[in-house]
Amino acid sequence: MFSQEFKNRIIEAKSAVVLTGAGVSKESGLDTFRDPGGFWSQHNPMDLASQGGFAENPKLVWQWYMFRRNTLTNAKPNPGHFALKEMENLFESFAIFTQNVDRLHHQAGSRKVYELHGNIIESHCNDCGLVYLDEIDVEKALPVCPVCKGFVRPSVVWFGEQLPEDVLESAVDWTRSADLFFTIGTSAEVYPAAQLPHLAKESGAYVVEINPNPTSFTRFADLSLREPSGIILPQILELIREIRLND
């Protein structure tokens, strides 16, 4: 079912790089942002994921993130996450760059995971950056920094904020030297993450998109697999295993 060209690229590939987005966690029961019914069809992103929104209504912002944290307590990695974990051992070098804040790649056991948009589990002071470890109950009181008294916030990257510089630099370095690049479960709408598949292509990688729906990147992809990642990634894993066994 997979093309000979894809197989040849796997045979030759030493380095594989993966960019993931919310779609990879869909089959773990988590909502995406831009699908029909997704978060951004119900909320204005600027109200919930920007400095302006936080200044305007910190309680609303915290309520939304606490809701998402609570949803996460029951979420488990799905077969897509586990297949990516196994792929790590089948290439000389392999890294995942994720826009997801849910830590499900870590839970699946992947070791080289870089979080482009932070994570939703941790919190820090919005003013001085101090990591905040105390229990949070926003219905009782909004968390405040014990040192500078600034508001504490979830450790995610909001619209208008810089991505962690070291993570972005690694993403660019890894992408430039990738032989195979997978863009999985992302609408490829949010920059700079959305630039990575383009950079991979310019740098000579074979770029595979996995997404049940077309995106603005689809026409640039070498291979577009219109399947849920939890279904197709285990099949790709099997293909790579067979190829490596016969190497």
Write out the residues near ligand OAD by the rule CB under 6 A. Answer: 21-24, 26-27, 32-35, 38, 45, 49, 99, 117, 157-159, 185-187, 189-190, 210-213, 215, 228-230
Let me know if 117 is a catalytic residue.
Answer: yes
Identify any residues that bridge with 181 across adjacent strands, giving them in sequence order.
17, 207
CB 220 to ligand OAD: min, Å: 15
CB atoms near residue 142 (< 10 Å) = 15
Unique residue bearing structure tokens 């820090």: 124
CB 34 to ligand OAD: min, Å: 4
Contact 114, 173 (CB under 8 A): no
Nearer to ligand OAD, 210 or 237 (CB): 210
Nearer to ligand OAD, 79 or 143 (CB): 79
Q: Provide φ and ψ at 60, rounded to 5°.
A: -60, -45
Considering 81, 105, 106, 117, which one is annotated as catalytic? 117
Nearer to ligand OAD, 23 or 53 (CB): 23
Q: Please state whether beta strands 152-156 and 118-125 pair in parallel, antiparallel, or not at all (unpaired).
A: antiparallel
CB 233 to ligand OAD: min, Å: 9
Contact 191, 218 (CB under 8 A): no
CB atoms near residue 120 (< 10 Å) = 19
Which sequence positions are flagged as catalytic? Answer: 117
